[in-house]
Protein backbone atom coordinates (compact mmCIF):
# COMPACT_ATOMS: atom_id res chain seq x y z
CA UNK A 1 0.00 0.00 0.00
CA UNK A 2 1.01 3.66 -0.16
CA UNK A 3 2.98 4.88 2.83
CA UNK A 4 0.88 6.53 5.60
CA UNK A 5 2.38 8.02 7.93
CA UNK A 6 -20.58 36.48 0.15
CA UNK A 7 -21.94 36.10 -3.34
CA UNK A 8 -19.69 37.79 -5.86
CA UNK A 9 -20.49 41.34 -7.02
CA UNK A 10 -21.53 41.96 -10.60
CA UNK A 11 -18.40 43.39 -12.14
CA UNK A 12 -18.97 42.41 -15.75
CA UNK A 13 -16.24 39.78 -15.59
CA UNK A 14 -15.01 38.45 -18.90
CA UNK A 15 -15.71 34.88 -17.91
CA UNK A 16 -14.97 32.71 -20.91
CA UNK A 17 -16.43 29.51 -19.64
CA UNK A 18 -18.91 26.95 -20.86
CA UNK A 19 -21.77 25.67 -18.74
CA UNK A 20 -22.40 22.03 -19.45
CA UNK A 21 -26.03 21.12 -18.86
CA UNK A 22 -28.29 18.28 -19.78
CA UNK A 23 -29.16 18.63 -23.44
CA UNK A 24 -26.69 21.37 -24.28
CA UNK A 25 -24.73 24.32 -22.97
CA UNK A 26 -25.36 27.93 -21.98
CA UNK A 27 -23.44 31.10 -21.20
CA UNK A 28 -22.28 32.06 -17.74
CA UNK A 29 -24.92 34.72 -17.09
CA UNK A 30 -24.41 38.18 -15.63
CA UNK A 31 -22.90 37.03 -12.34
CA UNK A 32 -19.98 35.32 -13.99
CA UNK A 33 -20.84 32.13 -12.12
CA UNK A 34 -22.44 28.90 -13.23
CA UNK A 35 -25.63 27.98 -11.40
CA UNK A 36 -26.49 24.89 -9.43
CA UNK A 37 -26.37 21.72 -11.43
CA UNK A 38 -23.95 23.08 -14.00
CA UNK A 39 -20.27 22.61 -14.54
CA UNK A 40 -17.43 25.10 -14.70
CA UNK A 41 -15.05 24.47 -17.59
CA UNK A 42 -11.68 26.20 -17.40
CA UNK A 43 -10.71 27.52 -20.85
CA UNK A 44 -7.83 25.89 -22.70
CA UNK A 45 -7.22 23.26 -20.03
CA UNK A 46 -9.81 20.53 -20.46
CA UNK A 47 -10.55 20.77 -16.72
CA UNK A 48 -14.22 20.43 -15.77
CA UNK A 49 -15.41 21.23 -12.26
CA UNK A 50 -18.74 19.96 -10.98
CA UNK A 51 -20.98 22.07 -8.75
CA UNK A 52 -21.15 20.78 -5.17
CA UNK A 53 -24.32 22.22 -3.60
CA UNK A 54 -24.69 23.38 -0.03
CA UNK A 55 -25.90 20.78 2.43
CA UNK A 56 -25.24 18.70 5.55
CA UNK A 57 -23.18 15.60 6.22
CA UNK A 58 -21.37 13.76 8.99
CA UNK A 59 -17.61 14.31 9.08
CA UNK A 60 -15.55 11.34 10.21
CA UNK A 61 -16.41 7.75 11.12
CA UNK A 62 -18.14 5.76 13.82
CA UNK A 63 -16.44 3.15 16.02
CA UNK A 64 -18.47 0.54 14.15
CA UNK A 65 -17.07 1.67 10.82
CA UNK A 66 -13.52 1.58 12.12
CA UNK A 67 -14.12 -1.88 13.52
CA UNK A 68 -15.19 -3.00 10.05
CA UNK A 69 -12.06 -1.46 8.54
CA UNK A 70 -9.79 -3.60 10.70
CA UNK A 71 -11.98 -6.68 10.41
CA UNK A 72 -11.88 -9.54 7.90
CA UNK A 73 -13.24 -7.41 5.03
CA UNK A 74 -11.32 -4.18 5.67
CA UNK A 75 -8.07 -5.92 6.58
CA UNK A 76 -6.27 -2.76 7.76
CA UNK A 77 -4.45 -1.89 11.02
CA UNK A 78 -6.47 -0.02 13.65
CA UNK A 79 -3.78 2.62 14.28
CA UNK A 80 -4.36 4.16 10.85
CA UNK A 81 -7.95 5.08 11.72
CA UNK A 82 -7.52 6.67 15.15
CA UNK A 83 -7.30 10.14 13.57
CA UNK A 84 -10.83 10.00 12.10
CA UNK A 85 -12.35 11.32 15.34
CA UNK A 86 -14.10 9.44 18.14
CA UNK A 87 -17.53 10.10 16.63
CA UNK A 88 -18.72 11.80 13.43
CA UNK A 89 -19.51 15.51 13.66
CA UNK A 90 -22.45 17.08 11.83
CA UNK A 91 -21.31 19.74 9.36
CA UNK A 92 -23.52 21.97 7.23
CA UNK A 93 -22.12 23.69 4.18
CA UNK A 94 -24.03 26.93 3.68
CA UNK A 95 -22.34 27.70 0.36
CA UNK A 96 -21.60 25.46 -2.57
CA UNK A 97 -18.34 25.23 -4.49
CA UNK A 98 -16.86 23.47 -7.52
CA UNK A 99 -14.67 20.41 -7.53
CA UNK A 100 -12.86 18.59 -10.31
CA UNK A 101 -15.00 15.99 -12.03
CA UNK A 102 -11.87 13.85 -12.12
CA UNK A 103 -8.43 13.87 -10.63
CA UNK A 104 -6.08 16.22 -12.47
CA UNK A 105 -4.62 14.41 -15.46
CA UNK A 106 -1.15 14.08 -16.90
CA UNK A 107 -2.15 16.18 -19.91
CA UNK A 108 -3.52 18.98 -17.75
CA UNK A 109 -0.45 18.91 -15.54
CA UNK A 110 1.86 19.06 -18.56
CA UNK A 111 0.24 22.33 -19.67
CA UNK A 112 1.26 23.89 -16.37
CA UNK A 113 4.77 22.52 -16.43
CA UNK A 114 5.40 23.78 -19.94
CA UNK A 115 3.81 27.21 -19.35
CA UNK A 116 5.51 27.83 -16.02
CA UNK A 117 8.76 25.95 -16.57
CA UNK A 118 7.99 24.06 -13.38
CA UNK A 119 10.12 21.26 -11.98
CA UNK A 120 8.49 18.91 -9.49
CA UNK A 121 10.04 17.99 -6.17
CA UNK A 122 10.54 14.42 -7.32
CA UNK A 123 12.58 15.72 -10.26
CA UNK A 124 14.62 17.99 -8.01
CA UNK A 125 15.27 15.23 -5.48
CA UNK A 126 16.00 12.67 -8.13
CA UNK A 127 13.87 10.00 -6.46
CA UNK A 128 10.38 9.11 -5.27
CA UNK A 129 8.61 6.40 -3.27
CA UNK A 130 7.20 3.70 -5.51
CA UNK A 131 7.21 0.03 -6.39
CA UNK A 132 10.57 -1.10 -7.67
CA UNK A 133 10.04 -3.84 -10.25
CA UNK A 134 13.72 -4.81 -10.04
CA UNK A 135 13.61 -5.66 -6.34
CA UNK A 136 9.84 -6.31 -6.13
CA UNK A 137 9.73 -4.05 -3.08
CA UNK A 138 8.45 -0.59 -2.18
CA UNK A 139 11.00 2.14 -1.54
CA UNK A 140 12.64 5.29 -2.85
CA UNK A 141 13.73 4.72 -6.44
CA UNK A 142 16.13 6.96 -8.31
CA UNK A 143 14.80 8.79 -11.38
CA UNK A 144 11.12 8.19 -10.71
CA UNK A 145 8.71 11.11 -11.22
CA UNK A 146 5.57 12.02 -13.17
CA UNK A 147 7.47 11.73 -16.44
CA UNK A 148 9.14 8.41 -15.64
CA UNK A 149 6.76 6.49 -13.39
CA UNK A 150 8.15 3.00 -13.63
CA UNK A 151 4.66 1.66 -14.33
CA UNK A 152 4.72 -1.23 -16.82
CA UNK A 153 2.95 0.86 -19.49
CA UNK A 154 3.32 4.38 -20.92
CA UNK A 155 1.38 7.10 -19.15
CA UNK A 156 -1.32 8.71 -21.29
CA UNK A 157 -2.78 12.21 -21.06
CA UNK A 158 -5.94 10.83 -19.43
CA UNK A 159 -4.15 9.13 -16.56
CA UNK A 160 -4.21 11.05 -13.28
CA UNK A 161 -0.92 12.78 -12.66
CA UNK A 162 0.97 11.16 -9.80
CA UNK A 163 4.28 11.59 -8.02
CA UNK A 164 3.19 15.18 -7.19
CA UNK A 165 3.65 16.56 -3.68
CA UNK A 166 1.38 18.94 -1.77
CA UNK A 167 3.80 21.71 -2.67
CA UNK A 168 3.62 20.76 -6.36
CA UNK A 169 -0.18 20.72 -6.32
CA UNK A 170 -0.28 24.08 -4.54
CA UNK A 171 2.04 25.56 -7.17
CA UNK A 172 -0.36 24.42 -9.91
CA UNK A 173 -3.30 26.08 -8.11
CA UNK A 174 -1.38 29.36 -7.64
CA UNK A 175 -0.39 29.38 -11.33
CA UNK A 176 -3.94 28.73 -12.52
CA UNK A 177 -5.44 31.37 -10.19
CA UNK A 178 -2.93 33.95 -11.44
CA UNK A 179 -3.56 33.02 -15.08
CA UNK A 180 -7.34 33.21 -14.77
CA UNK A 181 -7.20 36.46 -12.76
CA UNK A 182 -5.04 38.08 -15.43
CA UNK A 183 -7.54 36.94 -18.09
CA UNK A 184 -10.46 38.43 -16.11
CA UNK A 185 -12.05 35.02 -15.69
CA UNK A 186 -11.78 34.39 -11.96
CA UNK A 187 -14.88 35.48 -10.00
CA UNK A 188 -14.33 37.88 -7.11
CA UNK A 189 -13.65 36.19 -3.79
CA UNK A 190 -12.85 32.80 -5.32
CA UNK A 191 -9.62 31.01 -6.09
CA UNK A 192 -8.38 27.78 -7.57
CA UNK A 193 -6.93 25.70 -4.76
CA UNK A 194 -6.93 22.33 -3.18
CA UNK A 195 -10.22 21.45 -1.48
CA UNK A 196 -10.48 21.72 2.26
CA UNK A 197 -10.55 18.42 4.08
CA UNK A 198 -14.26 18.70 4.96
CA UNK A 199 -15.04 19.97 1.46
CA UNK A 200 -13.35 16.90 0.05
CA UNK A 201 -15.16 14.44 2.30
CA UNK A 202 -18.57 16.03 1.74
CA UNK A 203 -18.08 15.96 -2.03
CA UNK A 204 -16.68 12.43 -1.92
CA UNK A 205 -19.83 11.18 -0.25
CA UNK A 206 -21.89 12.45 -3.20
CA UNK A 207 -24.95 13.52 -1.14
CA UNK A 208 -24.84 10.49 1.18
CA UNK A 209 -24.42 11.79 4.69
CA UNK A 210 -23.12 8.84 6.64
CA UNK A 211 -21.90 5.67 4.95
CA UNK A 212 -18.58 3.87 4.62
CA UNK A 213 -18.38 4.46 0.87
CA UNK A 214 -20.11 6.91 -1.45
CA UNK A 215 -22.44 4.13 -2.66
CA UNK A 216 -23.30 2.77 0.81
CA UNK A 217 -21.85 0.37 3.36
CA UNK A 218 -21.35 -2.74 1.24
CA UNK A 219 -17.86 -3.49 0.02
CA UNK A 220 -19.20 -5.82 -2.66
CA UNK A 221 -21.07 -2.89 -4.21
CA UNK A 222 -17.69 -1.33 -4.87
CA UNK A 223 -16.94 -3.76 -7.65
CA UNK A 224 -16.77 -1.89 -10.94
CA UNK A 225 -16.62 1.43 -9.14
CA UNK A 226 -13.05 1.95 -7.94
CA UNK A 227 -9.46 1.07 -8.69
CA UNK A 228 -8.00 -0.50 -5.55
CA UNK A 229 -5.80 -3.48 -4.75
CA UNK A 230 -7.67 -6.34 -6.40
CA UNK A 231 -7.34 -9.78 -7.90
CA UNK A 232 -6.05 -8.72 -11.30
CA UNK A 233 -3.32 -10.99 -12.66
CA UNK A 234 -0.01 -10.71 -10.79
CA UNK A 235 -1.47 -8.12 -8.44
CA UNK A 236 -1.03 -10.34 -5.41
CA UNK A 237 2.69 -9.63 -5.64
CA UNK A 238 3.19 -6.05 -4.52
CA UNK A 239 -0.39 -5.39 -3.37
CA UNK A 240 -1.50 -7.34 -0.33
CA UNK A 241 -5.00 -7.87 1.10
CA UNK A 242 -6.91 -7.08 -2.12
CA UNK A 243 -10.61 -6.50 -2.76
CA UNK A 244 -12.30 -9.81 -3.72
CA UNK A 245 -12.66 -9.02 -7.44
CA UNK A 246 -10.75 -7.90 -10.50
CA UNK A 247 -11.01 -4.17 -11.21
CA UNK A 248 -9.13 -4.25 -14.52
CA UNK A 249 -6.06 -2.31 -13.44
CA UNK A 250 -3.02 -3.49 -11.59
CA UNK A 251 -1.58 0.01 -11.30
CA UNK A 252 -3.00 3.45 -12.05
CA UNK A 253 -6.06 3.75 -14.34
CA UNK A 254 -7.23 6.47 -16.73
CA UNK A 255 -9.62 8.85 -15.00
CA UNK A 256 -13.32 7.96 -15.11
CA UNK A 257 -12.54 4.43 -16.31
CA UNK A 258 -15.70 3.00 -14.75
CA UNK A 259 -18.14 5.41 -16.41
CA UNK A 260 -21.48 6.17 -14.78
CA UNK A 261 -21.10 3.36 -12.24
CA UNK A 262 -17.88 4.91 -10.98
CA UNK A 263 -19.35 8.39 -10.39
CA UNK A 264 -20.96 9.43 -7.14
CA UNK A 265 -24.13 11.48 -6.54
CA UNK A 266 -22.34 14.70 -7.49
CA UNK A 267 -21.00 13.17 -10.70
CA UNK A 268 -17.42 12.91 -9.44
CA UNK A 269 -15.28 10.01 -10.62
CA UNK A 270 -12.63 8.12 -8.65
CA UNK A 271 -13.14 9.82 -5.28
CA UNK A 272 -12.20 6.46 -3.80
CA UNK A 273 -9.21 4.73 -5.30
CA UNK A 274 -6.86 5.35 -8.22
CA UNK A 275 -4.65 7.95 -6.48
CA UNK A 276 -4.66 9.55 -3.07
CA UNK A 277 -5.74 13.20 -3.31
CA UNK A 278 -4.05 16.10 -1.51
CA UNK A 279 -6.28 18.52 0.41
CA UNK A 280 -5.46 22.01 1.68
CA UNK A 281 -5.50 21.42 5.41
CA UNK A 282 -2.67 20.91 7.80
CA UNK A 283 -2.87 17.60 9.64
CA UNK A 284 -4.60 17.46 13.03
CA UNK A 285 -4.36 13.99 14.58
CA UNK A 286 -7.60 14.64 16.49
CA UNK A 287 -9.61 14.66 13.29
CA UNK A 288 -10.67 16.76 10.31
CA UNK A 289 -12.00 20.29 10.82
CA UNK A 290 -15.29 21.64 9.39
CA UNK A 291 -13.40 24.70 8.09
CA UNK A 292 -10.00 24.64 6.42
CA UNK A 293 -7.38 24.21 9.12
CA UNK A 294 -4.45 26.23 7.87
CA UNK A 295 -2.23 25.51 10.86
CA UNK A 296 1.37 25.29 9.74
CA UNK A 297 2.10 21.74 10.73
CA UNK A 298 4.85 19.62 9.23
CA UNK A 299 2.21 17.28 7.74
CA UNK A 300 -0.56 17.68 5.20
CA UNK A 301 -3.59 15.50 4.46
CA UNK A 302 -4.39 12.97 1.76
CA UNK A 303 -7.81 11.49 1.10
CA UNK A 304 -9.46 8.71 -0.90
CA UNK A 305 -7.07 5.77 -1.06
CA UNK A 306 -5.25 4.50 -4.13
CA UNK A 307 -4.82 1.67 -6.62
CA UNK A 308 -2.57 -0.31 -4.27
CA UNK A 309 -4.70 -0.06 -1.11
CA UNK A 310 -6.74 -2.65 0.74
CA UNK A 311 -10.51 -2.22 1.39
CA UNK A 312 -10.23 -0.58 4.82
CA UNK A 313 -8.41 2.37 3.30
CA UNK A 314 -10.99 3.00 0.59
CA UNK A 315 -13.59 4.72 2.79
CA UNK A 316 -14.70 8.39 2.60
CA UNK A 317 -13.45 9.12 6.13
CA UNK A 318 -9.91 7.75 5.76
CA UNK A 319 -7.01 10.17 6.21
CA UNK A 320 -3.27 9.96 5.60
CA UNK A 321 -0.68 12.49 6.77
CA UNK A 322 2.61 12.61 4.88
CA UNK A 323 5.05 15.48 4.58
CA UNK A 324 4.08 18.09 1.97
CA UNK A 325 7.33 17.54 0.07
CA UNK A 326 7.23 13.74 -0.16
CA UNK A 327 6.68 12.42 -3.73
CA UNK A 328 4.89 9.09 -4.08
CA UNK A 329 3.64 7.10 -7.07
CA UNK A 330 0.09 6.91 -5.67
CA UNK A 331 -0.50 10.61 -4.89
CA UNK A 332 -2.27 13.22 -7.03
CA UNK A 333 -4.96 15.83 -6.50
CA UNK A 334 -8.35 17.19 -7.53
CA UNK A 335 -8.86 20.91 -8.23
CA UNK A 336 -11.33 23.09 -6.28
CA UNK A 337 -12.85 26.47 -7.16
CA UNK A 338 -13.99 27.89 -3.85
CA UNK A 339 -13.87 30.86 -1.53
CA UNK A 340 -10.44 32.38 -1.06
CA UNK A 341 -8.66 31.03 2.00
CA UNK A 342 -6.40 33.44 3.85
CA UNK A 343 -2.95 31.92 4.54
Show pLDDT as tens, one digit a residue, over the chain (343 residues): 554 443 333 222 333 333 333 222 333 333 355 555 578 899 999 999 999 999 999 999 999 999 999 999 999 999 999 999 999 999 999 999 999 999 999 999 999 999 999 999 999 999 999 999 899 899 999 999 999 999 999 999 999 999 999 999 999 999 999 999 999 999 899 999 999 999 999 999 999 989 999 999 999 999 999 999 999 876 555 788 999 999 999 999 999 999 999 999 999 999 999 999 999 999 999 999 999 998 778 999 999 999 999 999 999 999 999 999 999 999 999 999 999 998 7
Strand partners, 21: 24
Q: Is the pTM of this model over 0.95?
A: no
pLDDT of residue 296: 76
Burial pattern 7-24, b for ≥16 Cβ within 10 A else e, equals eeeeeebebebbbbeeee
Does residue 269 sit in helix, strand or coil? strand
Domain 52-339 part of CATH 3.90.1580.10: yes
DSSP E strand stretches across 150-289:
190-193, 276-282
Q: Nearest Cα to 146, choosing from 114, 173, 177, 187? A: 114
CB 216 within 8 A of CB 208: yes
CA–CA dist 205, 281 (Å, integer): 19
Q: Nearest Cα to 251, choosing from 260, 241, 269, 239? A: 239
CA–CA dist 287, 162 (Å, integer): 26
- Count other Cβ atoms within 10 Å, centred on residue 286: 10
Phi first, then psi: give them for residue 200, nearest 5 degrees. -65, -50
For the chain, the structural domain boundaries read 52-339
CB 196 within 8 A of CB 287: no
CA–CA dist 271, 317 (Å, integer): 11
CA–CA dist 228, 250 (Å, integer): 8
CA–CA dist 144, 327 (Å, integer): 9
Cα 298 to Cα 162, 194, 246, 248, 301, distances in angstroms: 21, 17, 37, 36, 11
CA–CA dist 339, 54 (Å, integer): 13
Amino acid sequence: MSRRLKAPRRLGLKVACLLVVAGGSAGCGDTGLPSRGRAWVIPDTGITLNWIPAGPFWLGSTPEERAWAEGPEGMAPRQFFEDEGAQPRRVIFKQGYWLGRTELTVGQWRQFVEAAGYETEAEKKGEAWCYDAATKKMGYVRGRNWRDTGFPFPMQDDHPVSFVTWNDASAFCAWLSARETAAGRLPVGLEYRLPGEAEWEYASRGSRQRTFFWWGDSLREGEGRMNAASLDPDENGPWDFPCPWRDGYKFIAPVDSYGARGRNGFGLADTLGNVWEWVLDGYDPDGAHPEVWANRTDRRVLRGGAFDDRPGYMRCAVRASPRPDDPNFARGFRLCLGKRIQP
